[in-house]
């Protein structure tokens, strides 16, 4: 049931989530870290379904960062297997619910099995229109910006564009998120209050929401609280309150 105080007409268009705390949730419950990741998948399912019900058109989830490659190989293997398992199990739901799967990051760094499944589901859902579910895999914002700079520099070198014409719109067209709007609301679970190299360009004017709840415990009610908090803020984009409220 939706929080009665939520205004469906004032929901963010693009919600991004740093899904943090799987390992600490497992430790708190006397379980192996793997159990935390497994339970985290259930939260993904619930939040995707709720975002869909609320008609939020863009949902982006930080699933695996470039820094996560430094984790133990066994844990990385488990995460990759969980991703493939999720894509296979949720495929029919994505089709039925008109959800398009999108991925950002260095997908070529992923195991071939994961790459193949990502490509398969992305291709099969590319015409779906109700919601774009973006999963950030082997993603780092600094790496993304570095990649953008190199691509634009090469185009300038080849006289495809002139240096005078390089502006924010040109940069946006070279981002991994070129087909997505900027983030309106960024949520991070587990109590940590940092961005961890996630969508640094795209969150320039996003509202930031931090909760102490570990990701496996984050459900519909918690999403509603984040959205209600968002609705109670005044987004000024550099203007004054008087200008906004004219």
What are the residue numbers of the active site? 20, 68
CB of 15 within 8 A of CB of 184? Answer: yes
Distance from C-alpha of 230 to C-alpha of 210, rounded to nearest angstrom: 11
- Three-state DSSP class for 44? helix
Q: Is the dihedral of CA 210, 15, 221, 228 positive or negative?
A: positive
- Three-state DSSP class for 148? helix
Distance from C-alpha of 160 to C-alpha of 174, rounded to nearest angstrom: 14
Distance from C-alpha of 229 to C-alpha of 210, rounded to nearest angstrom: 11
Give all strands of the β-sheet with 185-188 in edge-to-edge order.
99-104, 131-139, 58-65, 14-18, 185-188, 207-210
């Amino acid at each position: 049931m939706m929080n009665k105080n939520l205004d469906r007409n004032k929901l963010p268009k693009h919600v991004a989530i740093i899904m943090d705390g799987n390992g600490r949730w497992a430790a708190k419950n006397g379980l192996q870290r793997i159990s935390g990741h497994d339970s985290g998948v259930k939260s993904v399912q619930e939040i995707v379904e709720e975002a869909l019900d609320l008609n939020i058109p863009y949902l982006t989830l930080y699933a695996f960062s470039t820094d996560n490659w430094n984790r133990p190989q066994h844990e990385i293997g488990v995460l990759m297997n969980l991703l493939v398992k999720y894509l296979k199990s949720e495929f029919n739901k994505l089709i039925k619910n008109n959800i398009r799967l999108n991925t950002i990051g260095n997908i070529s760094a992923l195991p071939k099995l994961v790459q193949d499944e990502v490509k398969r589901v992305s291709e099969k859902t590319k015409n779906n229109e109700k919601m774009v579910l973006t999963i950030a895999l082997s993603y780092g914002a600094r790496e993304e910006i570095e990649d953008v700079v190199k691509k634009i520099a090469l185009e300038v070198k080849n006289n495809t564009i002139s240096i005078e014409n390089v502006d924010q719109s040109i940069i946006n067209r070279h981002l991994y998120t070129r087909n997505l709007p900027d983030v309106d609301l960024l949520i991070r679970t587990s109590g940590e209050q940092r961005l961890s190299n996630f969508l640094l360009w795209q969150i320039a004017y996003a509202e930031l929401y931090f909760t102490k709840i570990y990701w496996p415990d984050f459900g519909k009610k918690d999403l509603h609280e984040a959205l209600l908090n968002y609705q109670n803020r005044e987004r000024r984009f550099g203007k004054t309150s008087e200008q906004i409220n004219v």
